[in-house]
Structure 1
């Protein structure tokens, strides 16, 4: 990995974080919890897709619990199903 790759990765991550900060507060909270979970199990590649899904859902006026259901942990488990993990 070169310095350029590291710099580009940081720029992409900062852009990602900026998009997360633009989500409504309830979406940010749920996204943060799922993000922490994904960091623990190693499926961080799913974060971009999750962010896009949350952005679309928020834009349509749906509440975050309408999207994930009341059991956010089960939603996160379903999200990583079939993905490679460290767990």
Structure 2
């Protein structure tokens, strides 16, 4: 494995983890938001990752990580009764 291939793989993994961390922090920051601009409660987001093979390293079967998309969590909302309101 060439040094540049190793750096490319490591860099793609770090970028993917940075996106996951940003999405996780958004989910935590908006966990109790009950009204968004669209009118409904905040829906948590998930990151979809994929392993993409490197073009020049086909024999070694090396892959880098790519963020495919950021999707809304399809699970139903949790209904909570707040008696103080």
TM-score category, normalised to shorter length: 0.3 to 0.5
The structure with the largest strand share of the pair is 2
| Structure with max Cα Rg | 2
The structure with the largest helix share of the pair is 1
Highest relative contact order (Cα 8 Å, sep 6+), 1 or 2? 1
- TM-score, normalised via structure 1 length: 0.37
